[in-house]
């Protein structure tokens, strides 16, 4: 048995779990679990929190993660915005701050503004950066996990191979964990949102760009390098418009937020009627302009969002046929269009998905909304904190039972746990 396994089971039970329940789940004696739990309580990572429901005998003592055993930051870096969340070790939001930022800025300039947001969160709680046990960061580009940077990110000019983790460590001197924002959206929804209990899900972020995080059997699928999930660069139309990745007719170039705004501008130049014509003469349009006009009844903008929804739905139908997930959760700024966009997505999925897979999948907006990626970053940082804490606990000589061979395997993130007891 291993502390990490027990700690993860306690963590993934928001209402708490008893020693007896853990022992039953793992198929080992309650005394073995009690030894491990006592160590975790002694280390300050776990609390005895009230009693659970009785099943005929004495009501069991419920165990929970000690929320005050550390503080973490979850940072979601976006193409047009950044969100920072300060959290306790149960994922409780203590403070948050956001700002409109342009990812086209030099990386260090962008990060300096993120530091200011983080300092604002810390000051709200009277905390200092020295109290941070870990920081999770999501970025809108393909992450090379072994190197701690993004590689050839289509919508992050200037960030290619920029040492993000090293830059953050130089500022905060704590553990930094980095992943793609869509992966963290999937993790956030699985841990705290609409994907709880669903071990096979896809989170699709449709904002300036389009990406997806894939959770298979409770584990985020990263691929060989860590760049899996770039659904935005699946070809929808070989004769379509150029994409920022260098190809033509990618989903992102057909249905991403930037593409929708550009199509509105093209329509205005072609003389089509829209309420955005006057605004277009003043500044570049954004997808939010299109969404607002569509909600106000602008027919052109409604059609642009419907077209984008059909393209996204076509790509999702292929994904459903390929992976057979139990849920697809959609987030990002374009989904704020509501039924004008999501209705077209649903219709296209209905038309193009094989019947058995269609009946099994739940297609819905992300429950966490704009917080999904940041809360996934929080979950990632909490995992790092707990793993580091149990390691330090062992190094300090806190007692522990003997480990059987091949005691456990946990995912890189937080979910898939397999226990093998020798013999």
| Tally of CA atoms within 13 A in the half-sphere of 270 that contains its CB | 8
Long-range Cβ contact pairs of 274-279 (< 8 A, separation 24 or more):
274/298, 274/300, 274/301, 275/301, 276/300, 276/301
Q: Which CATH number fits domain 194-367: 2.40.50.140, 3.30.70.920, 3.30.420.40, 3.40.190.80?
A: 3.30.420.40
Q: How far apart are the first and last CA of the chain?
A: 13
Question: What does the DSSP 8-state code read for residue 92?
Answer: -
Query: What pLDDT is stored for residue 4 in this prediction?
Result: 85
Query: What pLDDT is stored for residue 393 in this prediction?
Result: 61
> Residues for the chain: how many in total?
423
Q: Are 70-187+373-381 and 194-367 in the same CATH fold?
A: yes
> Rounded CA gap, 365 and 369, in Å?
8
Query: What pLDDT is stored for residue 49 in this prediction?
Result: 81
The CATH T-level fold of domain 70-187+373-381 is Nucleotidyltransferase; domain 5 (3.30.420)
Collect all residues with Cβ–Cβ distance below 8 Å to 281 and sequence separation of at least 6. none
Assess contact for 184 and 376: CB atoms under 8 A: yes
Query: What pLDDT is stored for residue 143 in this prediction?
Result: 93
Query: What pLDDT is stored for residue 362 in this prediction?
Result: 97
Residue with structure tokens 């987030």? 331
Query: What pLDDT is stored for residue 55 in this prediction?
Result: 57
Secondary structure of residue 70 in the 3-state scheme: coil
> Rounded CA gap, 38 and 43, in Å?
9
> Rounded CA gap, 85 and 73, in Å?
6
Query: What pLDDT is stored for residue 412 in this prediction?
Result: 34
Ramachandran quadrant class, 332 (left: phi over 0; alpha: psi -120 to 50; beta: rest):
left
Query: What pLDDT is stored for residue 145 in this prediction?
Result: 80
Return the closest-CA partner of residue 16 out of 1, 30, 37, 36: 37
Question: What does the DSSP 8-state code read for residue 386?
Answer: H
Query: What pLDDT is stored for residue 304 in this prediction?
Result: 98
Q: What angle do CA 333, 366, 147 make, to 5 degrees?
A: 75
Collect all residues with Cβ–Cβ distance below 8 Å to 301 and sequence separation of at least 6. 264, 274, 275, 276, 290, 291, 293, 294
Assess contact for 91 and 152: CB atoms under 8 A: no
Stretch (H or E) spanning 12: none
Determine whether 18 is exposed, middle or buried from the number of CB atoms within 10 Å of its CB (0-12, 13-18, 19+): buried
Q: Which CATH number fits domain 3-68+384-419: 1.10.10.10, 3.40.190.10, 3.40.640.10, 3.30.365.10?
A: 1.10.10.10
Query: What pLDDT is stored for residue 409 in this prediction?
Result: 30
Tokens of 187: 């993790």
Segments of the chain scoring below 50 in pLDDT:
1, 397-423
* Extents of the domains making up the chain: 3-68+384-419, 70-187+373-381, 194-367
pLDDT, tens digit (0-9, with 9 covering 90-100), for 376-421: 999 999 999 998 877 666 555 444 333 232 322 333 333 333 333 3
pTM value is 0.88
pLDDT, tens digit (0-9, with 9 covering 90-100), for 193-239: 999 989 999 999 999 999 999 999 989 999 998 889 999 999 999 99
* DSSP for 186-197, written as a single string: HHHHHHHSTTTT
């Amino acid at each position: 048995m291993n502390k990490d396994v027990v700690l993860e089971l306690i963590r993934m039970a928001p209402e708490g779990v008893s020693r007896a329940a853990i022992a039953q789940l793992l198929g080992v004696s309650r005394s073995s679990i009690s030894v491990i739990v006592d160590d975790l309580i002694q280390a300050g990572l776990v609390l005895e929190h009230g009693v659970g429901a009785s099943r005929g005998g004495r009501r069991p003592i419920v165990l929970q993660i000690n929320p005050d055993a550390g503080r973490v930051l979850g940072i979601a870096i976006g193409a047009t915005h950044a969100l920072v969340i300060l959290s306790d070790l149960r994922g409780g939001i203590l403070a948050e701050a956001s700002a409109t930022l342009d990812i086209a800025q030099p990386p260090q300039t962008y990060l300096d503004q993120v530091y200011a947001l983080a300092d604002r969160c810390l000051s709200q709680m009277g905390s200092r950066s020295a109290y941070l046990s870990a920081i999770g960061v999501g970025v809108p580009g393909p992450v090379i996990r072994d190197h701690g940077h993004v590689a050839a990110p289509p919508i992050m000019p200037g960030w290619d191979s920029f040492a993000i983790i090293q830059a953050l460590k130089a500022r905060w001197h704590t553990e930094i964990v980095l992943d793609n924002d869509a992966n963290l959206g999937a993790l956030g929804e699985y841990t705290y949102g609409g994907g709880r209990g669903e071990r096979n899900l896809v989170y699709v972020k449709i904002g300036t760009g389009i990406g997806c995080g894939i959770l298979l059997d409770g584990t985020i699928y990263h691929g060989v390098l860590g760049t899996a999930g770039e659904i935005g660069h699946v070809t929808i139309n070989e004769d379509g418009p150029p994409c920022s990745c260098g190809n033509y007719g990618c989903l992102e170039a057909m249905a991403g937020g930037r593409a929708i705004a550009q199509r509105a501008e093209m329509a205005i130049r072609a003389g089509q009627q829209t309420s955005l014509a006057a605004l277009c003469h003043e500044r570049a349009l954004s997808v939010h302009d299109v969404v607002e006009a569509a909600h106000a009844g602008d027919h052109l903008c409604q059609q642009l969002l419907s077209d984008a929804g059909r393209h996204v739905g076509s790509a999702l139908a292929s994904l459903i046929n390929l992976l057979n997930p139990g849920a697809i959760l959609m987030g990002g700024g374009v989904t704020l269009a509501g039924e004008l966009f999501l209705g077209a997505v649903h219709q296209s999925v209905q038309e193009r998905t094989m019947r058995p897979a269609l009946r099994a999948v739940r297609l819905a907006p992300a429950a966490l909304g704009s917080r999904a990626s940041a809360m996934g970053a929080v979950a990632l940082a909490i995992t790092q904190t707990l793993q580091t804490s149990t390691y330090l606990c062992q190094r300090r000589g806190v007692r522990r039972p003997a480990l059987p061979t091949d005691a456990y395997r946990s995912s890189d993130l937080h979910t898939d746990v397999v226990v093998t007891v020798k013999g």
